[in-house]
Structures are given as C-alpha cells and as structure tokens.
C-alpha cells in the first residue's frame, strides 16, 4: 500500500505513511461525529419506553461530555495527520524534485521550457498538496466510516431500511467514475493551453525590447490574447463537463432521502419497524449525505490531480546521470574516440568524431554553423551522454563519472552569459563559493573587469539587476570570464567567450588567458580567426565530422577549410561602405 501511494501521488515513504494515518484519522473523526446520533437514539428509546430514570441521566450527560472531548481530540489528531504532515511532505517533494532536476542531463531541459518546469515545481506540487491535505483523506476517511456505519446498521436494524439509505452512494460514485477518462483528457488539454499562455507571457517579458524595436507589440499581443482566451475557454469547458457529472451524482445521492422516507414510512405503516427506528434513519440520512456530497466533489477533483501526478512522475522517472564520485584520471587530456551523438528527435549532430585536446595546449574548434562545435564542448563536460564512442578525461571514461564530480575540474564560459540579481562581487564569487573578497577582485582584474567596476556607483557591491541588465554585453561576458579565473580549474571551455568584446578588450582577455592556461586543457570555440591565431591545435568540424585538424601553420600550408575561412574573414574585415 505504501509503495503504491508513493508511485501514484509522488510521495516519500514517510509521506505515504502519513497519508494512511490521515485517512484513518478522518474515518475515526467521522465515526465519533456519529456518536451524538447514537446517544440521541438511546435517550429517545428510554424516554418512549419509560426507562429514563434519574440514575440514567448522569450517564447521558457523561456520554455527551466524553463525546465532545473525543471530538476535540480527534479533530486535533486529524489536523496534525493531514495538514501538518502534508505541508512537511510538500517541502520534501519540492526539494526532491529540485534535487532530481539537478541530476538530470541537460538533454532533458532541451525538451522542456521554463514555464513547464515552473508548473511542475509550483503548480503541480501545490495541487497534490491540496489533494493530500483535503481531498484524499476526506474521501477515503468518509468511505471507511460510511462502510463501518453501514455494517453496524445492517447488524442492528432492518436490512431494507439500510439498503434504502445506502443504495445511492455506489451509484453516485459510479457516475463520477465514468467521467474519469474524459476529465483527464480535458485537464491535459487545459494544462497544455496554460503552458502555452505562460510561455507566451514569459517570452513577451524577456523579448520586450526586440518586440518594441520591431513595432510588433500589436501583433504579438493579439497572439498572446488568443492564448489567454484559449485558457479561459478550456477552463469553462472543463468545469462545465465536471459540473454535469458532479451535479448528476448529487441528484442521485439526494434520492436516498426520498427512498429512506418512503421505505421507512411503508414499513412503519405495516408495523415492521418502530417509530424510533424510523426517526433514527431520518436523522442518519441527513448526517451521512452531507459529507458524501463533499466526497463526490473531492473524487472529481482527485481525478484532475491524476494529471499533475503524471507530470511529476514523468520528471521523477527520468533517468539520472550517475557515476563515480572520485576521479582517478592521469592528467587532463580530453580524448574523443569515434564519438557519435544525436538528439532525442533523431537529428544527427556528430558522426565518428575523433581528436585529442591535450593538457597544456589550446585546442580550437571551428567550422560552419551547425557543424557540432558547441555540442562537442557540452559533451566534453558531460552535459549530455554520447550515443556511440567514448570521451575520456585523463584516460577515464567520463560517462562513468558523477557529473558534479566531473565539473569540479571545468571552468566554462558560455556565449550566453547568465548573471544573477545580485552584486558584482557575488556574481563573480559563483566561480568559487568560499573565495575571499580579495580573490574575487584579483580574478576581476585578470578578466579586465576592474576598470568598469570601479566606475559603478557601489563598485564591487553594485547590484547589476536581473541577468546583469545594468551592464553592457561585453561587461557581462567579462564577469563570466572572471568566474572562470576565480575557479581556476584544470580544464577551460570557452564558447565564443570574446564574441561581445571589442578588439582592445579582446586582446587584454587573450593576454590574461595566456597566463591562465599554463599546464591546462583549453577547448575554445570561436568564429574569429584572430581569437584562435595562437592556438596549438585546430579541429575543423563540418557536417558533424572532423574535416581536418592540425596546427594553424599546418592547415595554412595547403588549401584547407581553415585557410579559406581565414581569407574570407580578412576580406570581410577590410570591407567598407
């Protein structure tokens, strides 16, 4: 049971155990809430039978007091077992999902957008939290308590009265159950249009400058309005569909009041049941159907929660990247041995790529766009796993190394820089969390950042805004390079690291890099031939294969792809209007 709940509702083992406790506590509470009806029945029986003596009155007073105390205790236990336990489990679930996402390969994130993942962590978790604290315990608890009451009534009263009271409950639930497939499909469609809307809003906020620069506000907002309208239509349709089933089931449930009254009246007229029994069932029918009405709504909501559980299960069941947490490499040579790679859509990116990036040398990857340069740098850091061949670091297969352990040996500067809404100091300190302020400033000077930082209002303590919005493109890229200097890892991956720098700053960075790369493995991707003029080795990629490799001098000695690219770039640099 515990394992089944874990899988179905994305729970930890303790969370599943707490859910069982919550269901039991709700059932116990419901049973205790039935006690006043039992006390009233016995009191009326004594009054009608003339057996209510002075000695019996303290018994009923005491039973009433005990019942109130039990109600207070049971409600406290129920609250603790459902709400407190659920909120604790919700924190565990969110942390667990975050930990899971941390261990997934980047290929997974290539298939997901931010809006989708945000919905997983926030929306889906919140929905399951509500289900765990309200819907599931109340539903299961009510079913258990009603079943126990039904068994007791069968043992104590006329079976025809019990049947008249309970026949509507399974019929009502069956009506709700029949709509489960259609409801899940509607919820999936609603989730899809919500994601499209969230994605559109996020895209609008991120690209607002480009939208305005191209006078595209009108057309873009029209498209966004269509997405918002789709969410509204989908929500109305889904709610209407569920309302039809829930209201139909509620009407059927109310029929039980009529059948109980009719059957009871008939049996009483025939003298087959007493007036007291008849009145007792009329009291019970009002007590049982109200919580069952709530249960029908909870059952319908629980069907919708199944979609959120499926989405979370899709994340939690994705295969993690795992490996050894201790490196035993001999040096830091990176060797690509007959590597092939394709994305999940079967688009082939690399085919039989073989080369070595040696420690102490700069290996440059060049070639036409789409040739696989960036993919190679990502594979070298195990952001993805290869489909064929092997990539080794110092003789050790990186597919057998834990990604976090592996990345401790890499300093990476991406073409697209990510900065945080924090100070310059803390943004650089990302490279080494325990670095002193002096170490951060030294790294900034090496990356040629100190000059523009000194011009900021609070210098190193200046907040640079969301994703470095207060800085220029070149300044943002130099902050990223400063991180790499601070980390001082034995392997450096540079993906168009100087693309946003002017010639003067590019020269300064290259001089600093020449000091940084001593005895290190450097893999650099660049389109500017000037950037890689002093590289030790050039690997030319074209159509996913190594078209040629060698030193700049070797490749320049004949009619090579590298030589033609260098000549074309020289011609473009000399072009004037």
pLDDT tens-digit series, residues 381-413: 888 888 889 999 988 998 888 888 888 888 888
Residues 311 and 231 in one domain: yes
Residue that is last in its domain, among 260, 286, 316: 316
Provide the pLDDT for residue 77: 85
Residue that is last in its domain, among 316, 340, 358: 316
Residues 152 and 262 in one domain: yes
Residues 352 and 281 in one domain: no
Residue 525 contacts residue 373 (beta carbons within 8 Å): yes
The CATH number of residue 288's host domain is 1.20.1560.10
Residues 180 and 280 in one domain: yes
What separation in angstroms does the CA of 351 have from each of 386, 389, 546, 567, 573? 11, 10, 9, 28, 33
Higher pLDDT, 95 or 344: 95
Provide the pLDDT for residue 31: 81
- Identify the domain containing residue 30 by its residue range: 2-316
Beta bridge partners of 334: 357, 393
Residues 402 and 271 in one domain: no
Residue 510 lies in a domain: no
Residue 469 lies in a domain: no
562: confidence class by pLDDT, cuts 50, 70, 90 = low
Q: Is the pLDDT of residue 309 over 80?
A: no
Residue 447 lies in a domain: no
Residues 286 and 337 in one domain: no
Residues 259 and 294 in one domain: yes
Provide the pLDDT for residue 345: 58
Residue that is last in its domain, among 316, 342, 365: 316
Provide the pLDDT for residue 505: 65
Residue 558 lies in a domain: yes
The CATH number of residue 544's host domain is 3.40.50.300
Provide the pLDDT for residue 464: 83
Higher pLDDT, 186 or 531: 186
Q: Which of 26-35, 250-259, 279-288 has the highest mean pLDDT?
A: 250-259
Residues 146 and 294 in one domain: yes
Residue 468 contacts residue 427 (beta carbons within 8 Å): yes
Instruction: State how many domains the chain has.
Output: 2
* CA proximity to 86, closest of 1, 31, 25: 25
SS3 content of the chain, % helix, strand, coil (to 5): 65, 10, 25
Tens-place pLDDT, residues 169-221? 888 888 877 777 777 777 778 778 887 887 788 777 777 877 887 787 788 88
Residue 278 lies in a domain: yes
Residues 292 and 351 in one domain: no
Tens-place pLDDT, residues 217-245? 788 888 888 888 888 888 888 878 777 88
Residue 182 lies in a domain: yes
Residue 190 lies in a domain: yes
What strand order describes the sheet that includes 491-495? Answer: 410-413, 491-495, 521-525, 362-366, 537-542, 545-550
Residues 109 and 252 in one domain: yes
528: confidence class by pLDDT, cuts 50, 70, 90 = low
Residues 310 and 341 in one domain: no
Q: Is the pLDDT of residue 24 over 80?
A: yes
Residue 555 contacts residue 540 (beta carbons within 8 Å): yes
Residue 497 lies in a domain: no
Q: Is the pLDDT of residue 344 over 80?
A: no
User: Is this structure's pTM higher than 0.75?
Assistant: no
Tens-place pLDDT, residues 130-146? 777 777 787 788 788 88
Residues 213 and 342 in one domain: no
Question: Across residues 329-342, what is the average pLDDT?
Answer: 88
């Amino acid at each position: 049971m515990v394992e089944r709940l874990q899988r179905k509702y994305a729970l930890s083992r303790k969370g599943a155990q707490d859910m069982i406790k919550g269901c039991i506590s709700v059932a116990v509470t419901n049973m205790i809430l039935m006690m006043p009806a039992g006390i009233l029945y016995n009191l009326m029986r004594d009054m009608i039978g003339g057996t209510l003596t002075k000695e019996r009155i303290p018994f009923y007073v005491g039973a009433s007091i005990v019942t109130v105390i039990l109600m207070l205790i049971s409600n406290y236990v129920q609250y603790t077992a459902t709400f407190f336990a659920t909120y604790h489990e919700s924190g565990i679930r969110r942390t667990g999902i975050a930990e899971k996402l941390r261990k997934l390969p980047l290929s997974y994130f290539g298939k997901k957008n931010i809006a989708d993942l945000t919905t997983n962590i926030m929306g889906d978790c919140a929905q399951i939290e509500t289900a765990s604290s309200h819907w599931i315990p109340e539903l299961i608890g009510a079913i258990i308590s009603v079943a126990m009451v039904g068994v007791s009534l069968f043992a104590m009263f006329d079976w025809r009265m019990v049947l008249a009271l309970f026949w509507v409950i399974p019929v009502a639930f069956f009506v709700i159950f029949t709509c489960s497939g259609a409801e899940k499909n509607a919820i999936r469609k609603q989730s899809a249009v919500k994601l499209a809307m969230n994605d559109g809003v996020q895209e609008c906020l991120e690209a607002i400058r480009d939208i305005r620069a191209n006078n595209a506000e009108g057309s873009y907002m029209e498209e966004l309005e269509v997405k918002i309208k789709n969410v509204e239509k989908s929500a109305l349709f889904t709610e209407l569909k569920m309302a039809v089933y829930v209201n139909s089931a509620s009407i059927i449930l109310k029929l039980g009041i009529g059948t109980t009254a009719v059957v009871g009246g008939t049996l009483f007229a025939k003298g087959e049941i007493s007036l007291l029994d008849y009145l007792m069932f009329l009291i019970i029918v009002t007590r049982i159907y109200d919580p069952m009405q709530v249960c029908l709504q909870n059952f319908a909501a629980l069907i919708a929660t199944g979609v959120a559980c499926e989405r979370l299960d899709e994340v939690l069941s994705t295969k993690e990247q795992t490996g050894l947490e201790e490196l035993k490499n001999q040096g830091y040579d990176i060797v690509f041995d007959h590597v092939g790679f394709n994305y999940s859509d079967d688009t082939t990116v690399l085919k039989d790529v073989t080369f070595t990036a040696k420690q102490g040398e700069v290996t440059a990857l060049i070639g036409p766009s789409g040739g696989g340069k960036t993919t190679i740098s990502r594979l070298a850091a195990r952001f993805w796993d290869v489909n064929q061949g092997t990539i080794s670091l110092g003789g050790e297969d990186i597919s057998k190394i834990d990604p976090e352990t592996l990345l401790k040996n890499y300093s990476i500067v991406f073409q697209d820089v990510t900065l945080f809404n924090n100070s310059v100091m803390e943004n650089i300190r990302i490279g080494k969390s325990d670095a002193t302020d002096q170490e951060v400033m030294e790294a900034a000077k090496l990356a040629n950042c100190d000059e523009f930082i000194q011009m900021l209002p609070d210098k190193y303590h200046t907040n640079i805004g969301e994703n470095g919005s207060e800085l220029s493109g070149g300044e943002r890229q130099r902050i990223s390079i400063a991180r790499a200097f601070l980390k001082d890892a034995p392997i450096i991956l540079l993906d168009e690291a100087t693309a946003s720098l002017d010639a003067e700053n590019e020269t300064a960075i290259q001089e600093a890099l020449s000091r940084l790369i001593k005895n290190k493995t450097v893999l650099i991707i660049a389109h500017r031939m000037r950037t890689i003029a002093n590289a030790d080795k050039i690997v030319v990629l074209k159509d996913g294969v190594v078209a040629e490799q060698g030193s700049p001098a070797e490749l320049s000695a004949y009619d090579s792809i590298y030589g033609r690219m260098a000549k074309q770039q020289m011609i473009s640099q000399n072009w004037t209007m």
